[in-house]
Amino acid sequence: MLVLVGDMHRDMRTISLNFLSNARLRTHLLKEVEKHTLVVLDSWIENSIIFAQDEAKKFTFNLMAEHIMSLKPGKPETEQLKKEYITFMKGVVSAPLNLPGTAYRKALKSRSIILKFIEQKMEERVKKKTEDNDQNELLGWVLKNSNLSKEQVLDLVLSLLFAGHETSSVAIALCIYFLQGCPTAVRQLEEEHIEISKAKREFGETELSWDDYKKMEFTQCVISETLRLGNVVRFLHRKAIKNVRYKGYDIPCGWKVLPVIAAVHLDPSLFDQPWHFNPWRWLQNNTRGSQNATTASNNFMPFGGGPRLCAGTELAKLEMAVFIHYLVLNFRWELADTDEALAFPFVDFPKGLPIRVQRHAL
């Protein structure tokens, strides 16, 4: 989907947007996000060392695997697919040397295995003529409601499974990393989520509602600041489809253009103390490194922009908010070893972000 243009890009993007619409976020995906968050956090043992990046990837991968192909977390086929995706990811950022033993050769093999797996799932649904209960998953919905070819469906599922879990998990890991260094923000998050949790208990409710999500105002500030400072996607890939003249420069048709959005997010002329984690800058009428709405809309682009704005923007923010909700209500954490995010070219914690967790009940 990254390289498609014209009608095909429009059709695939429309399918993605329909399946990740606000209506589906409210009626279906919020419950799924909450369920998969609890599956991961409930497995954490008191006073143990957790590799936060791996746990975040487990959460987002399991969510997308079930959402796209109804794969259940912990099942052998889900775990095997996850293993192949890890190998595939390592090859995506490797030198393209198709030689035995290289990460690139291993990634090609894993990609082939993943595509065969998706094709097998497609055939199963075609044989049973895509029952109504398959409409809650993307694969079943696409097979019944679109005219995409088999190759296009394979590409769509491969792309969404990759895009839907990799960047979101890194964003969650970055959030955990930044918050352990900002106890004031953690305390304000605790206050916000205690209030939401207390109100739910008074009404005898347990599951989060859309109204609860909309009350997470400071949480959204933390998410915005994590995305600004962390820059999960540091630059965008674009290609000039015709000759372009921009600010005195000629960009010939066919040339690649890489807008570096990290340079904008870390520009001191746009953001006060840009290297400082300051979620309060996103509050309206604040006095702590203020960031007005106009400046934010023009210079804050963690999900890209225009007709290629990330289709999973709202899902990613929902995942982060729900994970933060249950994290701050149930755990305190600290770094168990020195680790920091590196970008080469994708953001990654070399040691997996080891943290020591302690349970508490707020």
Which residues contribute to the annotated binding site?
A: 310
- Which parts are annotated binding residues for heme? 310
* 3-class DSSP assignment, residue 269: coil
Which helix (H) or strand (E) element contains residue 262? helix 261-265
Count of other CB atoms within 10 angstroms of residue 236:
15
In angstroms, the CA 18 to CA 288 distance is 38
Which ranges of 70-102 would DSSP assign to H, the alpha helix?
76-92
> Quick one: which of 206, 223, 215, 224 has its CA closest to 31?
206
Cis peptide before 345 (omega within 30 of 0): yes
In angstroms, the CA 216 to CA 186 distance is 13
Q: By the 8 A CB rule, do 219 and 175 touch? A: no
Q: By the 8 A CB rule, do 180 and 333 touch? A: yes
In angstroms, the CA 141 to CA 156 distance is 12
